[in-house]
Amino acid sequence: MMNRTQPSEAAAATRRRPVALAAVSALAAVALLWGAAQHGVGAQPATGAAAPGASAAAGGPRLTGLPDFTVLVEDVGPSVVNIRTVERVQATPDDEADPDEAMRDFFRRFGIPLPPGAFPRGPQRPERGPQQRQRGVGSGFVYSADGFIMTNAHVVDGADEVVVTLPDKREFKARVVGADKRTDVALVKIEATGLKPVRIGDVERLKVGEWVMAIGSPFGLDNTVTAGIVSAKQRETGDFLPFIQTDVAINPGNSGGPLINMRGEVVGINSQIYSRSGGFMGISFAIPIDEAVRVAEQLKTSGKVTRGRIGVAIEPVDKEVAESLGLPKAGGALVRGVEDGSPAAKAGIEPGDIILRFDGKAIEKSADLPRIVGNTKPGTRATVEVWRRGATKTLTVSVGTFEDESAARAPAEEPKAAKAGPLGLTLRELTAAERRELKVSGGIRVDGVSGPAAAAGLRPGDVIVGVGNQNVASLRDFERAVADWPKGRPVSVLIRRGDWAQWVLVRP
């Protein structure tokens, strides 16, 4: 007699069939996706299937395939080179017998600081003649078929000899044509034939989330391929460069290698990593190829890079300062100081001005200004739009030639406690000698600070030259401006401190 709680084999098979069919269907779908991925970056929907966009419109995830990098490696790989640098050093006999020398050399090659007291040397022995020692390993790529190789400036910096190894194992001694430390771009030249130059991509078309690939020599391992996505663009980490941030694995030795998009075009030069250990931690930075090409062409022509300058010190404009000055939004570059006799001084730019546009280009953030000015040819007459006293003003500046600028430092003074007024300021008018020294026509000197003024960072010796959009030439001007200021709002005060100018928000 059959137990009713135990189903028959036929019934059990009937119930198992849908599960088995579902499993087969899932495997077929995976196979379809995999096959599509082998023929392109994105998988195409099968006939009769809903298009990926339809799924996204319905609120579901967009269905795409996995990228296939094999074609890119075959296409770009022959253009990527290994760069080995050599330095001549005074060797001692204990270099040959020292068991810790290999570890010291490892730390030197990959730029890792040597811990104090680690791997101590034995007693010094008589010095011998100079020897060659491998200094470091980097990467590069063929920029042009006539032998120009692009890499990082830090890869070849200080090297006595540069050796380029091609993917076909040919080796050539390279001549350093030029290197620009500010952008970390270098150009070297080899005398070789049969070179395949890379294709240069358009950084403007590069999108965050897009797949990218790197080829290089991490830790000296030639022709290593890694891949990831663009994590961010316009990442500010230097004076003249908005870096491309990626999660592509980059390690010592990858420096100078190309960052490649899915069209096989170079969009950047791998240059830096963020790391607390010396190794890759998921964040790497690449120099945008358009900036690198601009530098490389100058190096190719003259061996150096010429940049424009106007002679101002700047800082960002935050939301509170923008609101207090009536700016529609936070943006531009606040002029903290103007160098005497500089192009900016001759054009009439003043400390406290906010530069909104330069040569027709908007200054969205303060870091934009040095890059735009630097890319302007010296001698160019450019228009500068500034925000001054609640209105825009257009000036004309003749761009100078950039040289190493040394930033002036404001003298540090200890604030003195004093009681005075609702803002906590003890003030006096400037003497004629002080006005001549500061090159101002008016202003009032801070002799003491307390309360709100001290909390805002004002110091004795500061000179107040403006409140909001009003000039301050005397104590009466200051008292009137403060009295007219809306109650309860932070008072925006423009001060001079030595050669610097800055806005300070004092909260009564």
Given the residues 79, 154, 450, 462, select the one marked as catalytic. 154
User: Per the structure block, which two tokens stand in for 301?
Assistant: 């022509």
Query: Residues comprising the binding site?
Result: 154, 184, 253-255
∠ CA 337-402-236, nearest 5°, is: 75
Tell me whether residue 39 is one of the annotated catalytic residues: no
- Collect all residues with Cβ–Cβ distance below 8 Å to 447 and sequence separation of at least 6: 416, 418, 426, 427, 428, 460
Given the residues 184, 353, 368, 477, select the one marked as catalytic. 184
CA distances from 112 to 104, 208, 288 (A): 10, 31, 26
Q: Which residues pair with 212 in a beta bridge?
A: 228, 261
CA distance linking residue 69 with residue 452, whole number of Å: 61
CA distance linking residue 352 with residue 332, whole number of Å: 12
Tell me whether residue 255 is one of the annotated catalytic residues: yes
Burial grade of 185 (CB within 10 A; 0-12, 13-18, 19 or more): buried
Given the residues 79, 217, 231, 255, select the one marked as catalytic. 255
Give the count of alpha carbons within 13 A of 421, CB side only: 21
Buried b (16+ CB within 10 A) or exposed e, 262-276: bebbbbbbbbbbebe
Torsion over CA: 358, 396, 348, 398 (sign): positive
**Dihedral in degrees, nearest 10, Cα atoms 478, 482, 485, 489:** 130
Tell me whether residue 184 is one of the annotated catalytic residues: yes
Nearest to 342 by CA among 393, 401, 427: 401
Nearest to 490 by CA among 449, 440, 447, 456: 456
Asked if residues 445 and 463 have their Cβ atoms less than 8 Å apart, the reply is yes
Residue 364 sits at φ, ψ, to 5 deg, of: -70, -35
Query: Residues comprising the binding site for substrate?
Result: 154, 184, 253-255
DSSP, residue by residue, 1-46:
---TTS--HHHHHHHHHHHHHHHHHHHHHHHHHHHHHHTSSSPPPP
CA distances from 338 to 167, 434, 471, 480 (A): 52, 18, 18, 28
CA distance linking residue 482 with residue 496, whole number of Å: 18
Nearest to 491 by CA among 415, 443, 424, 435: 424
Nearest to 371 by CA among 333, 327, 340: 333
Nearest to 313 by CA among 341, 343, 336: 336
List active site positions. 154, 184, 255
